[in-house]
Amino acid sequence: MTTRTDDLLGRIQPTEGGREIFDPATGELVGRAPQASVEDLNDAVARAKTAQPGWAARSNDQRRSLLHAAADAVEAHAEELAQLLSREQGKPLNGPNARFEVGACSAWLRATAEFSLEPEVLVDDTSGRATLHWRPLGVVGAIGPWNWPMMISVWQIAPSLRQGNTVVIKPSGYTPLSVLALVEVLNTVLPENVLIPVPGRGHVGEALSRHPDIDKIMFTGSTATGKSIIKAAADTVKRLTMELGGNDAGIVLADADPKAIAEDLFWGAFINTGQTCAALKRLYVPESIYDQVCSALVEVAEKMPMGPGLDEANVLGPLQNEAQWQIVDRLVTAARDSGARILTGGDPDHSRSGHFYPTTLVADIDPQNPLVVEEQFGPALPIVKYSTVDQAIEWANSLNEGLGSSVWSSDLDRAEEVASQLVAGTTWINKHGAVDPRMPFGGARESGFGLEFGVEGLKEVSQPHIISR
C-alpha cells in the first residue's frame, strides 16, 4: 500500500540513478537521493541570486506571513516527514526524536517570523543624525549535519529568508532525503527559487563555500569540516556562522539530589542517542554523592528502550552510520582497557542488524581518558569523580571546545556562581541542551563563532548599514 511518505519520496527521488540511502536500524533501502554536480550548484546559485532582489523587496509582513504559511505546510505533512526522518536518520518517532524534530521545525519558523530588526537611531543631536539599518546579504549557502537534519536546516533557512536573503542548501550526504522532503514541503508556499536544495557529496559543499556569488555560509557540523569551510571561504571574504563540535561538560554540585536530577541528566546526554552537538558529553560528580548519581543514572538508562525508530515503543535508536559506531566503540573499548568501570552497556550485540550501540555509562574514569577528552557523539557517558569544585571547573574548561555546559544544584545562586566560571556559549542550570528560538545560541573556542536564534540571529544574516548625515 502506498503511504503519504512514499508519495513525498516520489516527488524528491530522481527518475533514475541517484545515491541509495539505507535505514541505519534495519539496513533496508529508504530511497534514492539525487546527486547534484558543480554545474547544478552553479545554476542553483544563479537562480537564487536572480530571485533575491524580488524576495528582499517584499515587505516584512509579507515575508512573515510566508514563514507562517511554511510552518502550516510542515504541520500538514508532519507525520510523513517524521516517518521519513526516522527511517533515514534512525531516531525513533517518540521521545525527543523524530516527531519532536518536525514540531521544532514549525515552531522555529513561527518564532523567527515574529522577530524583527528595526532601524536604530544612533545619534540625533546638533552634530547630525546617524541611523543603523539591517540589509539582506544576498544568497546564503547553508550546509547542514546528519544528526538533526530537518531542524538545523530550519535554523539556517528561517532567519535567512526572514531578512530577505535567498538560500541554497546542501544537506548531509547521510541524510539528504529528510532535507529534500522538508524543502519540497516548504516550497509549496515559498516563491520560486527562494530556497533551492543541492544534494551531493563533499565537493559540492566545497564549491558552495568557494562560490563568489554566495554571500554567507552557515554551517553546523564537525570542527574539522568547519575549518575546511573557513579556508575555502577566505578568498571571497564570506560572512560565516560556524556551529561546530562540542564536548559539553556538566558539573553536579554536592547539594544536588541524585534521584531528582537523574532523568534530566540522562536526556541531556542521550537525546538523539547522544548524537547532538550540545549534548552532555562528560559529567563531573563530587565524591560525596558519586555512587548515588551513578546508581540513579543506571536506573534511568536501563528502562529506556532502544530499537528501530518506527517501533512506537522505542525512545533510543541506532547510530546513524557505521563510521560513528566505530568511534563510539573505540572510545568505550579504550576506557574499559584503561581500567574504567562499565556501569551498564559497553557490550554491543554484533549479531544484531543496524548500527546499534547499547546505552553505556562509564565510571571511575581518568579525566584525561580519550572517552572524556574526545567527543564521542553517541550513547556513552563518562562520569568523572572530583574532589573540589575548583578542580571540576578546571577540568571542564581544559578542552578546546566550548559549545554548551551545565551546572546541577539545589542552590540556584551557587549554581549560577559556578556557571559564570565556565567557558561556553551557553551554560544551563539543572538542564542541558535546552535551546530556545528566543535565546541566541553559539559556541566558544573551537566550537565555532556567530550566533543563531532570536534578533541576534537575524543580525548574523544581515549587513549592517549606517546612514550618517
* Euclidean distance between CA atoms 108 and 438, whole angstroms: 9
Please pick, among 206, 277, 375, 401, the residue that the annotation labels catalytic: 277
My answer on whether 74 and 208 are in the same domain is yes
* Euclidean distance between CA atoms 158 and 26, whole angstroms: 33
Classify the C-alpha dihedral 38-40-46-52 as positive or negative. Answer: negative
My answer on whether 145 and 202 are in the same domain is yes
Residue 442 lies in a domain: no
Domain holding 97: CATH number?
3.40.605.10
My answer on whether 68 and 173 are in the same domain is yes
* Euclidean distance between CA atoms 300 and 269, whole angstroms: 12
Host domain of residue 271 = 248-429
My answer on whether 240 and 113 are in the same domain is yes
My answer on whether 103 and 232 are in the same domain is yes
Residue 434 lies in a domain: no
φ, ψ of residue 438 to 5 degrees: the values are: -90, -10
Please pick, among 88, 101, 243, 460, the residue that the annotation labels catalytic: 243
My answer on whether 8 and 64 are in the same domain is yes
* Euclidean distance between CA atoms 33 and 22, whole angstroms: 11
Residue 437 lies in a domain: no
My answer on whether 225 and 334 are in the same domain is no
Residue 305 lies in a domain: yes
pLDDT at 1: 42
Which residues of the chain fall short of a pLDDT of 70? Answer: 1-3
Active-site residue flag, 446: no
Residue 440 lies in a domain: no
Give the pLDDT confidence of 8-51 residue by residue, as tens digits: 999 999 999 999 999 999 999 999 999 999 999 999 999 999 99
My answer on whether 193 and 289 are in the same domain is no
Structurally, how many domains does the chain consist of? 2
Residue 377 lies in a domain: yes
Burial level of 42, CB count in 10 A (0-12/13-18/19+)? middle
My answer on whether 233 and 254 are in the same domain is no
Burial level of 349, CB count in 10 A (0-12/13-18/19+)? exposed
My answer on whether 234 and 293 are in the same domain is no
pTM of the model: 0.96
Domain holding 356: CATH number?
3.40.309.10
Angle at 271 between CA 347 and CA 253, to 5 degrees: 90
My answer on whether 159 and 293 are in the same domain is no
My answer on whether 296 and 238 are in the same domain is no
Residue 441 lies in a domain: no
Active-site residue flag, 277: yes
Residue 177 near residue 11 (C-beta atoms within 8 A): no
Residue 126 lies in a domain: yes
